[in-house]
Structures are given as C-alpha cells and as structure tokens.
Structure 1
Amino acid sequence: MFFGGDKRNIIIAIGLVAIILIGWQFLVPTPQYVPENTDIEGQSSLDEKNEKIDTTAKSESDQLFEILPRDVAIKGSDRVIIESPRLHGSISLKGALFDDIRLKNYNETIDENSPEITIFSPKNTKSGYYASISWTGKANEIFPDKDTIWETNSTKLTLNNPIILSWDNNNGQIFKQEISVDDEFAFTIIQTVENYRSTPFKFKPTGLLRRYDPFDDSVYYKPWGIFQDGALGRVGELQLESDYGDMEDGQGFNQKGVGGWIGITSKYFLSSLIPEQNRKISVHSEHDQPKTGHKNRYDVYLTEQKLIELQPKETSKNITTHLFAGAKKVSILDMYEEKFGVESFDLAVDFGFVWFLSKPLFYALDFFFGLTGNFGVAILLLTICVRVILFPLANKAYGSMSRMRKLQPQMQLLRFRFGEDKQRLNQEMMQLYRRERANPLAGCLPILVQIPIFFALYSVLFVTIEMRHAPFFWWINDLAAPDPSALITAFGYLDWGAPSFLLIGIWPILFGITMFLQLKLNPQPIDPIQQKVMMALPFVFLFLFGQFPAGLVVYWTWNNVLSIAQQWLIMNRMGITRDSLKKEAEHLKLLKEGTGKEREEAIAALDAKLARDKKASEKARGGKKTLIDRILQTGEEAKEKATERRKKQDEKLAERKREFQRRANAKKRGKKVTKRRPARSEKLPEVQNEPKVSRKERRAERAARAAKEAVKASLDKKLDDQTKDRDVKSHASADKEKQMKNRGQKSNKRSRKKK
C-alpha cells in the first residue's frame, strides 16, 4: 500500500533531517573524558628461551624528577644541534634521546608570530615526548641506559653532515649509532656493536616512543569513525590501532611479524619507527601511571624477536631503523612508503569510514590546488566536476521535480475533491503520477547521492594537514575551521562571549539563502504543517553549518547555486515560467479562500488545464504505455499466474488425498486395491483467455464502437436517401417517356384519319 504524496514527502523530509542530525552528533567532536586513575596491568618483560632480559628502558621513568620549562630542560644536558630544511632541534647526549624536534613551516595558529609546532620535548617537561634507539639483552650484560653519556664526532647534524655516537661499556663492547637526516622529516639510525672480548655477546636492537600527558586537542576531541590519536602501526599484513583510552584499559596491541612500522599519532603529526622490512620484529603498546610527576605515560616498543649472537672479536652487521617525526602530509607519506619499502604508511592519515570516497576527493583537490594555488578555488572546481559526474541523475531528478511542480494545481484539486476519501485520493494521485511520468521520490536522489560526498569531504577537511590553515579569499584564513566572520560579534571586533551556536558567519548565511531558494523551486507540500516544516529547514541547517569547516560550507553553497541554475533551466524548458506560477498561485488561493463563484471559476480553470495537460500527454505518448504502467501490468499478470498455479497445486493435493482415502477404505474392506481410471469427460473446447482490459480501455473501446455505429447509421441513412431520389427520378423519367409515346401514337392516328 503506497503512502499518500503528503505523508511520503514529510516522512522523507524527517528522515533526511534525522540523518544529518545524527551525522552531526557522530562527526562533530564531542568531549572525551580521560581517566586519571586506572589500574593497568603492565606488559610482561621480554623473555626468549627462558633468558632474563634487561628492562632498564621500561623502568627508567619510575624515578621522580622535577617538571621544568622546556627551555630550561633542554639546557640541562649536552646536545647535538639538528638543522635541516623542514625541522630543527637537538639530540641529548645523555641517553642519546631525540627529545627536541620542532617543525619550521608549521605554527600553532594562523598568526605569523605563533610558536612553531613541537614534536618532541624532554621527559622532564610538562608534556614529555621522545624517541630512543638502543639495545637490550641478558640482565648480566651492560647496555646503554638513560644515564649513558655518549661521545660524538660532531656537534651539529645537518643534511650533508651525519654524526656518529659511540659508547664503550668497559666490558668488551663498543656501541655505535650513525645518525643522518634527510630534507623532509626522517632520520636514519644505523646501529653497530663491536665485541672485542673473548666470549660471545648476545643482544637485541630496540626502539622506543614515549609520551607523557598529551595535551593537544586531538587527544580530547575526535569524531566518530576516524582514528587520530594513540598508537598505531602495521606488522606483516595486520593493521594495528590502540588509542589512549584503549591503552589505559589494558587493550594495547602486542604483535609479531616481519617488517612494518609503529608510531604515535595526533591529528596532524606523527612520530614513527620504521625498521628494515626483512627484520623479524615484535611490537606492543602500553600505558602506565609513572612516579615522575606526570599522570599518564604511553609507550610503544619495537624489539627484535630473537637475540643476535656476536662472536669474539666480531663486529655486528649494520642494523638500520628510520625515525619519522613530522607532519602527516599525504604526498610525503607516499614518498616514504616507496623509499623505505614499507606498506600502508599512508594509513597514518585515517580518512574515516568513507575512505573510498575521501581519498579520491583529496587527490582531486590536491590536483586542482597544483593548478590554482588555492584550496578554496580547488573546492569550487571539484564541485563542478561532481556536478558533471552526477548530471544525468540530477537532470532526470530535476525534470521529475519540475513535473511535480507543474502538477501542483491538479494535486490540490484532487485533494479538494477527494480529501475525505484517502484511498480514492491515493489512487487518483498515483494515476496522475503515472500519466504525467512524475516520480515524487526522484527529488531525493541528488540529496541521497550527495550525503556520502558530504561526509567524505568533511573527512578530508578534518584530517588532512594540507587543509590546515589553508586560506581562501577575504576573511577565510583556514578552510578547516568554521567561518570566523560572525555577525553577532561584529566580525570578531566585539568578543562578548556569545554562545558558540550563535557564531554564524557569512558563508553559512549564504548557504541558508541558497537552500531557501532551492526549496522555493521544489514542489511545495500541500499540507500546511508540512510547508512550515520545510520552510524551517534552512534555519535549522543555518545553525548546523555555522559550526562546520568553512571549506565544507563553501562546497555546499556553491553546489546549491549550481543546482538552482540547473533546475531553473529545466523548468523554463518545460514551460514553467513566473507568469504561469503566478496564475497557478492565484487559482490555488481562490480554491482555498475564495467564495462559491470564485471557487467554481478556479475549479473550472484547473479542470481545463488538467484536460489540456492530459490530452497533450496522451498525444506525446502516442498510446504507448509508460514504464510504470508496464511494471504494474507485469506485476498483475505475475500475481494472476501465481494464483492459478496455487489453485492447480491445491487441486492436485486434494485429488491425492481422495485417492489415499479410497485406497485405505478398500484395504479395510479387504478388497483389492485397483488403480482408478480417470473419468472420461467430454473434451471441452479450449477457451482462450482474453487479455485483461482496464476500465479506461473499456471506456475508450465503447466510445469508439458508439462512434463507429453512429458513422455507419449516418452512411446508411444517406444511402437510403440517395436510393429514394434515384427511384423518384427514374419514375418521373418513365412517366415522361410514356407521355411522349402516347402523344406520338395520337398524332399518327390523326394523320391516318386525314388520309
């Protein structure tokens, strides 16, 4: 049973609003509370073949130290200065820690004087964060630890000047690290061990990423479906993810495999350890509450699976590990994925559950950015491309919507006539839709197709660093942030602490205007309540889009402008002009509010228009059935065949039951069970099933038959009249000839008498 046009439209409208509002709850960041006191069971120590492994690296943070300002903490140890095109900082020679890395081209805010983004900080600062490459092994061996003072061959690490750190444990081994940096965000660390004693030496290369009390917004705010903070990586074919909450609940990952990478990520930045891809590694992540003055500590470990045995007087092979510390720029991640031969390194940027759309959209935006140099213009060009791809679907949908708009008077007239009889009203509405080839659901198709693109573009704007602080024109300095031009605060000049939902910029207002104009072009609901609901939607979305990234609002506003232009052209082509709409509005007003005579005139005008449209539709169709008619007829025929098939099956089943009962009765009486012969019946002539004819076709057939009989009667009457005229003329001519003949005979007699 079909819903009525009004009910169906209002259900669709409510459903779309619900989808957007639910999506808003999921996509818009919501506060996530980070628990301060949670009992966590630590990871077990590394054991291999019942050999006790040193855990110095894990227990080093259990000592209480004073929390210092970052500048003071950096000056507390000797350091090697780092200077490269994309980053700068220093390496602490105490423990060989990468604990001072800042990015040159990225600032905390759009202000030019804003501080640079800091990746690593010393452990005795408020938010300590560092990386360490070291060794571990048997507990009775001596390995470098947090207090080890390394020697260096140079005090400055540059692009063309790698350094070598070395340390002698005075127990027969010398540990060395050769460190180099490239022109982007990666360090390469080559580890070697020299065993100059007379007994073998066993060890394992290790890597550590440690972070204390993350404080950036990406930790506390995250949208649903996007992983943007915590530990992540890949080992073998398995993708690993555990956010800070998972690690606090004891659900960090623990995996072994060949090759891969691990790291700690935030919304836009990443630190990662990338071993050689042929190494057999073991990785795991964990959380602890240290006794260092910090509340939380998050660790990610990378360790060789098996101990490496070094014979006396032997130097180990080079063991290479890469350290990435920088921005999650997609092109750079792709470059390192190819350079280091590591798989899925680009997954450090999580495009969400619509990644299959988000990633192509991002690459398209990046391409247009390369042509124009502005991501805002790239969004406008991308919108045009999307409209071109969806043009056939949108054109068909807008054509159907225009036909629906054209049918508004007829729908209102049907509602006026059959308002009390809902079933009859629905039937008449369906016949009207079928005759005019209008689909009330077609207008929803462009919106439904646009919803995944909307979510995909939101993901692109939210997670890609390319969009961070990307300017457009005029007042838009960051496409990834909401429009800052709030009218209620006089464009930011009067900051009086207004609620965030009232901070609506110019672009959201433009979006609301374009949405209102588009709704005015669409078929208007007949129900007054539904009309009010539809007219309230632009105001609801105005406040909703006021909190969305400016780039997303620019996309949707420009999309609305293109939709309005396309729909306007289709309406003009179908003859729906301003004058016709004005006349229809007057008729509808008279139909609703006019007096008796005015209402009758309006009904007559609408009836005449309905008849003209019906005649034009039948003439254009040329007697051919529409697709909907054929589908309905096919459904009716299938239903009749199924009914007939069930009837035959029931007859067969009843016959079998009768036969079974007859045999059972014969068996009871002790009679021989014989096969029953089918009764002879006269063969009836086969009756051909006439095709089912609709009421409309029967009426047309009767009218044609009556017209044919009338024409035939007229012809017969005319023929009879002509026959009578011929008879009269022939009788008159015969009488005349007879008279002439009689005259001739009389004259002959007279002449004979005279003679």
Structure 2
Amino acid sequence: MKEEQKNFILFAVFAALVLFGWPMISHWIFPQQPPAPAKMVDGKLQPVPNPGADPAANSAKAIRNRDAVLSETPRVEIDTPSLKGSINLKGLRIDDLVLREYDQTVAKNSPPIRLLSPSGAEGSYFAQFGWQGANAPGADTVWQADGDKLTPATPVKLTATNSAGQVFQVELAVDSNFMFTVRQTVANRAAAPIAVTPYTLISRGQRSTDTSQWAAHVGPVAATTDAAHYIDWKDIESTPQQFSTTGGWVGFSDHYWLTAAIPDQRASVNIQQRGTAAQQYQADVARSQPITVQPGQQSSYTSHFFAGAKEVKLLDAYQKQYDIAKFERAIDWGWFEIIERPIFTYLSWLFKLVGNFGVAIILLTITIRGLLFPIAQKQFASMARMRQVQPKMKAIQERYKDDKPRQQQEIMKLYKEEKVNPLAGCAPMLLQIPIMFALYKVLLLTIEMRHQPFVFWIRDLSAPDPATILNLFGYLHFTPPSFLAIGVVPVLLGISMYFQMKFNPAPMDEMQKQVFAIMPWMLMFLMAPFAVGLQLYWITSNVLTVLQQQWLYSRHPEMKVPVEKPKAAKAK
C-alpha cells in the first residue's frame, strides 16, 4: 500500500510539472501562436487589432505622422492587384507599401497589412537602389520619372544625371503579385572610364513584433547557393554577418511576410546583414567587383526585389522562374519538411475541393487514419497477445519481486516464448507525433491557413479557440491566464480523449490506470493554447479511433474478457 501511495505522489508531482511547465517548454519547441484575430466580449466575437500589422505609425507614439512624411517628397504611385503604395523619388526608395489582399484582422472593414514605411515615421522599413562609386547619386538625389504610376502594364524609368556627365537610370517593373524587377543602367558621357558597383539595401528601423524561436524563424535571413542562414537579431547588432556567393538573396522574414533583395543569380556578390544596439537593421547586396564603363559606353545590371506574403506556391514559382537559390527557404520548414510539404499540398487540394479548411482538416485526418489502419490492426492484435500474457507476467513479478535482474530476465523470456512485443502498441502513436508536429507547423507557418474560418465562432483555424469558458465567453471582463484559457474546442478534445481511453483495454497496473484517468484532462489544458485546426485534427482522430476500436473488438472479443489476476496476487 505504501508503494502505491508513493507512486501516486510521484505521478501527481509529475502531472503538476507537466501542466505548469509545459507552456515554458513549448515556447521553445513549438511555433508560437500569432495574435488571436478575435475574442469573445459579452458572448459575441469581436476582431482584435494585430499589433504587428501596422506599427501605430499615425499614433501619438510615432516619430512623425506617416501621411505627413509621405507628402514631403515627390512620388510615383504603385498600383497592382496585390500592392498599393508609392516610390520615393528622393533617394529612390520603395518606402510605402500595403498588401491589398491581406487584412490586419478578421473584421470586414479591417485595413490591409502595411509592410513598408518611410524613414522618419514609426516602423521605418524600405528598400533603396543605387551605386557605389564616385559621383553616384546619393540619398538626397531627386530622380526624374517618365511616368506617374507603376503598374504591371506600365514600367517606370527613373533618371539622374551628375555634373561629370554620367547618366544613371533605373527601370522599375512589377508583376501582379509581389516581385519588382530592377534594371540599373549607367551611361558614361565623360572622357574617362568610371567604376561603379550596383547595390540594393533594405533598411528596417525596428525588430519584428512576431516572435522568433527554435521551430519558426523570424528575423534576418541570408541565402547562398549552399543554404539559407537564419540569423538572430542580436547577432548582427554586435557583428555583421557577411557572405560571398554567386546566387542567393538577403532580407527580413516576419511570420507571414518577407522582403528580399535578389541579385543577378549569375553574378558574384557580397551579401551582408548588420545592425546596431538601437535596433536599426540593414540587409544589403552588391556585386563583388565594380563595373567599369568606358567613355561613350553604358552598362546594365538587373536584380529583383520581393515584398509581400510568403505564399508557398508563389515562392516556389519565383524560385523556378528566376532560378533564385533557396528562395523557398523563406519559409522555415525545418526538419520535418519532408512531411510538411505533402501535408500542405494535400490540404490545399482538399480545400479547393470542399471550400472549407476545417472540413479539409477532417478529410486529411480520415486519410491519415486510413493509411495507419493496418498498423493499428497490428497494434490491437499485439495488445490482445499482451493481455493474454499479463497473468503470467504478474506471476513472474510476484515470484521474483526481490530479484529484479532475474525478474526482467524471466519477463523477456516470456515475451520471446509467447512472441509478443510490448513496444508494438506504441507504433501508431509514434508515427502520429511527427505528423501532428508537421500539421501544426503547416497551420501556423503557411499564410494560406491565416484567417481561415471553420464554423460558428471559429474564425481562424491557425489560432487558439477564442471562446474561453473561465470568463463565461467574455461576459466577465477579464483575460484568464494562458494555462487556464480553456475554450470549447479543447474541452471537446478532452472528452474525445476520455472516450478513446475508456474504450481501450483496461490495464492491470493501478499506476497505469491513474495515468490514463487523468491524461485526457491534462491534454485538454496542454492543447488549449494550440491552433484550433490541430485540435480539430486530434478530435477527429479520437472519434475515428473509438469507431476503429469497436470494430477491432468484434475481431478480438478476448480483449473484453477481464484479465484474471494470478493466485498469489489474489491471496495477498
């Protein structure tokens, strides 16, 4: 009896450590949720502003009002199906850009995501194009434009001439998505040759409000032909990160958004990430060798600039179209890419088929369970054999309770004689762990899942359930702590897990019974902060498991027969 009490106390301590320590551990292991798009207030769903979407540039905290800053310099309008903004002709900067197709919240009248802002306003973030070399245009140069609007059908040519007789020209073109083509030309009308080095820089006046962690990088990125380098903000504040490569790109990655300076993939270039303690950051790329332009000659250099959403298929298409090294690595797929990519592709196909990502996740779950069904059959058969040898195993434990080495030896001999494997029952669970982790990353990292509704109050499958029970769905005006913010969907998950374990064969060991009894409710708390889409996957999987178990019980009726305890245990 004392041994059982000791085991129960140890289990209780372990359960408490898991329950309260899990949020801290999961912060590093799993990607963190983006800000919830909605919350319950007085029983009604209300959108929540996204603090990372538009950094309060027109608020009292702003350095200067963004609209005022934009009005101070001559500009060329940017107008495409995906982008809206302007080019600053002073210094030749793209410093005003919003993403038309992506809103800050799930509200119908939500403003679009702002990606770039001018220097002097809060959230300064821009791209600049130019040359290094004598007499090259500088940050104060005002360029002349041959048009007043940049569209996919109307490129814009910008020109600056210096007193020495050189003409610098930048032709900007943009497609209907997020890619700019930048053609830089130098015409030398002087009597002596000149040497100039074309460059592109991306300046960012603050860190991203998104959180970077082990499983989901946010921050500086530099890609070479060999690999994509995910760099920490702090690292470049003290020491610049430099790479020499032929092919690649450099930029800044947010949770869903990306800016990238993409050089000519056939030219040898130097790319660099650097920053300051004041959290001012710059990514730049320049040719390794300057271009020499002889008198009466001209030379051109073509690069690209990406500013937009990290759509999976679009990144893949750009990588193929322009032969950009490692461009698909703008999304930090991580170690499980080999599983995540097929899941994303299949889930996207199901979404196109049914028009609802929640239904698509249910169909994905049915598919996965179908593929794992043969393994589950073997698992159940293994459990049936294990159940048959339980009395013999208990008898051995009683017989050699004072001789642990001999006890283990006899148990292993029993397993071998009866041809059972105690680990065989773990196979389906072990296989589902990487699948669940891969699905979790797909739900959180891919923008295609952002703000995707399911039914009723679930307006975003990539975010936690907003219908928290502890504050009575918002009627009590307080926000529960994260480990108590239990929504309706996590409760359904706990109930489904309870019934799944209830239909499992009851273990003989009392300690195991205690573990199985409390596990569904522990998982309810542990899974509450996770994406609703992942919880939906697990609930569906549990329901299918219960149905599967009922069918397997019909094939193995011996599993319902109570296990007879050994006589020694009865006598005790």
TM over 0.5: yes
- In the other structure, the counterpart of 2:281 is 298
SS at 1:255's partner residue? strand
Counterpart AA for 1:541: L
- In the other structure, the counterpart of 1:107 is 103
Counterpart AA for 1:106: Y
| Structure 2: runs of 5 or more not aligned | 1-6, 34-61
Task: Verify the 8 A CA contact 1:352 1:459 in the aligned structure 2.
Answer: no
CA distance in 1, matches of 2:512, 2:496: 20
CA distance in 2, matches of 1:417, 1:241: 56
- In the other structure, the counterpart of 2:271 is 283
Task: Verify the 8 A CA contact 2:198 2:286 in the aligned structure 1.
Answer: yes
- In the other structure, the counterpart of 2:438 is 456
CA distance in 2, matches of 1:29, 1:333: 21
Q: 1:411 to 1:489 in 2, by over 3 A?
A: farther
Q: CA deviation at 1:132?
A: 0.6
- 492-501 or 342-351, which moves further after superposition? 492-501
- Pick aligned residue for 1:226 from 193, 200, 216: 216
1:314 counterpart = 2:297: yes
Higher percent of residues as strand: 2
The higher relative CO (CA closer than 8 Å, separation ≥ 6) is in: 2
- In the other structure, the counterpart of 2:230 is 241
- In the other structure, the counterpart of 1:402 is 384
Counterpart AA for 1:253: Q
Counterpart AA for 1:157: L
Task: Verify the 8 A CA contact 2:207 2:219 in the aligned structure 1.
Answer: no
Render the CA deviation track for 1:466-513: whole Å, top value 9, x for unaligned.
111111222221111011122222333433222121111222112212
1:388 counterpart = 2:370: yes
Structure with bigger gyration radius: 1
Counterpart AA for 2:115: I
Render the CA deviation track for 1:28-76: whole Å, top value 9, x for unaligned.
4679xxxxxxxxxxxxxxxxxxxxxxxxxxxxxxxxxx92122221112
- In the other structure, the counterpart of 1:536 is 518
- 540-549 or 388-397, which moves further after superposition? 388-397
- In the other structure, the counterpart of 1:376 is 358
- Pick aligned residue for 2:72 from 76, 80, 88: 76
Q: 1:307 to 1:323 in 2, by over 3 A?
A: same
- 110-119 or 523-532, which moves further after superposition? 523-532
CA distance in 2, matches of 1:412, 1:195: 91
CA distance in 2, matches of 1:340, 1:78: 32
Q: CA deviation at 1:105?
A: 1.0
- In the other structure, the counterpart of 1:132 is 128
SS at 2:546's partner residue? helix
- In the other structure, the counterpart of 1:357 is 339
Q: CA deviation at 1:422?
A: 6.2
Instruction: Return the TM-score normalized by structure 2.
Output: 0.85
- In the other structure, the counterpart of 1:94 is 90
Counterpart AA for 2:225: G
- In the other structure, the counterpart of 1:521 is 503
1:27 counterpart = 2:29: yes
CA distance in 2, matches of 1:274, 1:112: 35
Q: CA deviation at 1:420?
A: 5.3
Task: Verify the 8 A CA contact 1:414 1:429 in the aligned structure 2.
Answer: no
Counterpart AA for 2:523: F
What root-mean-square deviation, in Å, do the aligned CA atoms of Structure 1 and Structure 2 show? 3.1
1:196 counterpart = 2:185: no
CA distance in 1, matches of 2:25, 2:439: 13
SS at 1:358's partner residue? helix
1:265 counterpart = 2:253: yes
- In the other structure, the counterpart of 1:740 is none
Task: Verify the 8 A CA contact 2:223 2:326 in the aligned structure 1.
Answer: yes
- 367-376 or 100-109, which moves further after superposition? 367-376
1:476 counterpart = 2:464: no
CA distance in 2, matches of 1:67, 1:415: 77
- Pick aligned residue for 1:210 from 183, 203, 211: 203
Q: 1:285 to 1:412 in 2, by over 3 A?
A: closer
- In the other structure, the counterpart of 2:138 is 145
- Pick aligned residue for 1:505 from 484, 487, 505: 487
Counterpart AA for 1:503: A
Q: CA deviation at 1:152?
A: 0.9
Aligned length: 530
Q: CA deviation at 1:106?
A: 0.7
- 98-107 or 385-394, which moves further after superposition? 385-394
User: What percent identity do the matched residue pairs reach?
Assistant: 37
Higher percent of residues as helix: 1
Render the CA deviation track for 1:296-343: whole Å, top value 9, x for unaligned.
211111111112111112222x31111110000000001111111212
CA distance in 1, matches of 2:350, 2:479: 38
Q: 1:111 to 1:30 in 2, by over 3 A?
A: closer
CA distance in 2, matches of 1:461, 1:150: 44
| Structure 1: runs of 5 or more not aligned | 1-6, 32-65, 290-294, 593-598, 604-755
